[in-house]
Amino acid sequence: MTQDREWEFDYDEADFEAIRKRIRQAAGIQLGDSKRQMVYSRIVRRLRSLNLNSFQQYLFYLDDHPNEIELFINALTTNLTSFFREPHHFKALNQILLERYQGGGRALRIWCAAASTGEEPYSIAMTACQTFESLTPPVQILATDIDSQVLRTAQMGVYPESRIKDLDPTLKRAYLLRGKGDKSGMVRMRPELGRLIRFQRLNLLDRQWDVKPGLDVIFCRNVMIYFDKSTQMSLLDRMVPLLSDDGYYIAGHSETIDRNFRALRLVGKTLYQRQA
């Protein structure tokens, strides 16, 4: 890439290639050629805060400081999400919860495998509360993400009102608390929702996951798209055995699973069920 004189730091093709190799190794994330500018603007912030003078220096720094890798990953993830994104999945969840609980027994377990800033696990929690008409529904949610920064936001459960402008007013009244004084313009998730969720940093690329089998539902939405085909398949191979025999796997809108992957069968819109 030709260097742009307006840019604060030199940034050439080799820098971009080295960075995309590192993020692929660390997080499985594949960055296309169109992401050159995005990589520059995100990594430049790390250079500034570390007082470094070049991308090369940063890459050496990354090699010498294992703790930097977490911040490097945080800088390059894409965390786009929203409350009740792809609403049909939450309608399906309501049915799944009713069908699987049937009046008693164990708590239902849901893994939200790319929780980002928390809108997805809180939408799951709200759906569970509505389904069981209770703030203590028999549901446990594990919400994980590789990005430690977004998980901190998720854990706080505080959002600008603009994030909830399209949320059903009934849900707003039931599950959100409005900020007052210096918190005005912000909303907070009711603490009861937070109690249903355990937040945990988890890199899907790690060889071992701290996730117990017997899950009723896995939400794995809009993260597989960042991985190459073989990573996607090997993650599916590891996720499906974590589901109970007829548990459900929910994918993002553009993440259809190959028909030849026999362990899951399509039962709805990007909604899959485990089959023997």
With CA atoms as reference, report the closest residue to 112 among 88, 87, 90, 143: 143
Residue nearer to ligand SAM on the CB measure, 178 or 212: 212
Residue type, 206: D
Between the alpha carbon of residue 29 and those of residues 21, 76, 204, 265, the distances in Å are 9, 9, 11, 26
Residue nearer to ligand SAM on the CB measure, 27 or 62: 27
Is there a contact between 249 and 220 (Cβ–Cβ < 8 Å)? yes
Rounded to the nearest whole angstrom, what is the least distance from the CB of residue 261 to ligand SAM in the complex?
A: 20
Token code pair at residue 21? 């190799």
Q: Quick check: is 42 catalytic?
A: yes
User: Residue with CB nearest ligand SAM?
Assistant: 81
Rounded to the nearest whole angstrom, what is the least distance from the CB of residue 81 to ligand SAM in the complex?
A: 3
Count of all residues that appear for the chain in the document? 276
Residue nearer to ligand SAM on the CB measure, 168 or 255: 255
Rounded to the nearest whole angstrom, what is the least distance from the CB of residue 123 to ligand SAM in the complex?
A: 9
Calpha distance 190→199 (Å, rounded): 16
Rounded to the nearest whole angstrom, what is the least distance from the CB of residue 205 to ligand SAM in the complex?
A: 5
With CA atoms as reference, report the closest residue to 34 among 77, 74, 1: 1
Rounded to the nearest whole angstrom, what is the least distance from the CB of residue 211 to ligand SAM in the complex?
A: 12
Residue nearer to ligand SAM on the CB measure, 11 or 248: 248
| Residue of 15, 145, 147, 216 with catalytic role | 145
Token code pair at residue 159? 């959002």
Site residues for ligand SAM per CB under 6 A:
27-29, 77-81, 85, 114, 116, 120, 145-147, 150, 203-205, 221-223, 226, 252
| Residue of 22, 24, 36, 42 with catalytic role | 42
Calpha distance 145→1 (Å, rounded): 32
Place of tokens 């969720």: 197
Residue nearer to ligand SAM on the CB measure, 85 or 132: 85
Rounded to the nearest whole angstrom, what is the least distance from the CB of residue 251 to ligand SAM in the complex?
A: 10
Residue nearer to ligand SAM on the CB measure, 56 or 255: 255
Is there a contact between 35 and 79 (Cβ–Cβ < 8 Å)? no
Beta strand 271-274 pairing with 243-251: antiparallel
Is there a contact between 111 and 218 (Cβ–Cβ < 8 Å)? yes
Place of tokens 């991985």: 227
Catalytic residue numbers?
42, 145
